[in-house]
């Protein structure tokens, strides 16, 4: 039997899953409407920039306030920065920077 090779989820996928799960633990239903990731590098780090649009059902104010300081266990990646760029009318615009590590 031939099996397809296993691939590791990229930082964007892992972060999206972590955000949805974190919201669910707080009783919120979050859906990812759009997620875009672009490679990013500095002189010492390699990673990705992420821009996301999330849709949330419920009062997300406390969750959103805690997000910039939240710790997410992403295999092979660290969330270096997470900013809520806009929130209103059930839509959240996020920007994040993840750094890769081995």
**Residue 28 within a domain:** no
Within a domain: 25: no
Q: What percent of the chain has pLDDT over 90?
A: 87
Residue 29 has pLDDT above 80, yes or no: yes
SS3 6: coil
The answer to whether position 81 is within a domain reads yes
Using DSSP, how many helices (H) and how many strands (E) does the chain show?
2, 4
User: In this structure, is residue 29 part of a structural domain?
Assistant: no
- List the one residue out of 101, 102, 70 whose CA is nearest residue 84: 70
60 belongs to a structural domain? yes
Band (pLDDT 50/70/90 cuts) for residue 102 is confident
pLDDT band at 27 (very low <50, low <70, confident <90, very high): very high
Total count of domains within the chain: 1
Structural domain contains residue 66? yes
- pLDDT at 7 (0 to 100): 62
Confidence band, pLDDT 50/70/90 cuts, at residue 2: low
Cα radius of gyration (the chain): 15
92 is a domain residue: yes
Domain encompassing residue 51: 34-100
């Amino acid at each position: 039997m031939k099996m397809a090779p296993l691939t590791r989820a990229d930082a964007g996928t892992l972060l999206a899953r972590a955000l949805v799960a974190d919201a669910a633990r707080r009783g919120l239903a979050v859906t990812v409407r759009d997620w875009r990731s672009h490679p990013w590098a500095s002189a010492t780090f390699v990673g990705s920039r992420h821009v996301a649009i999330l849709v949330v059902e419920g009062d997300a104010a406390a969750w959103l306030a805690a997000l910039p300081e939240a710790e997410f266990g992403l295999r092979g990646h660290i969330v270096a920065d997470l900013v809520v760029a806009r929130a209103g009318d059930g839509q959240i615009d996020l920007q994040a920077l993840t750094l890769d590590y081995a």
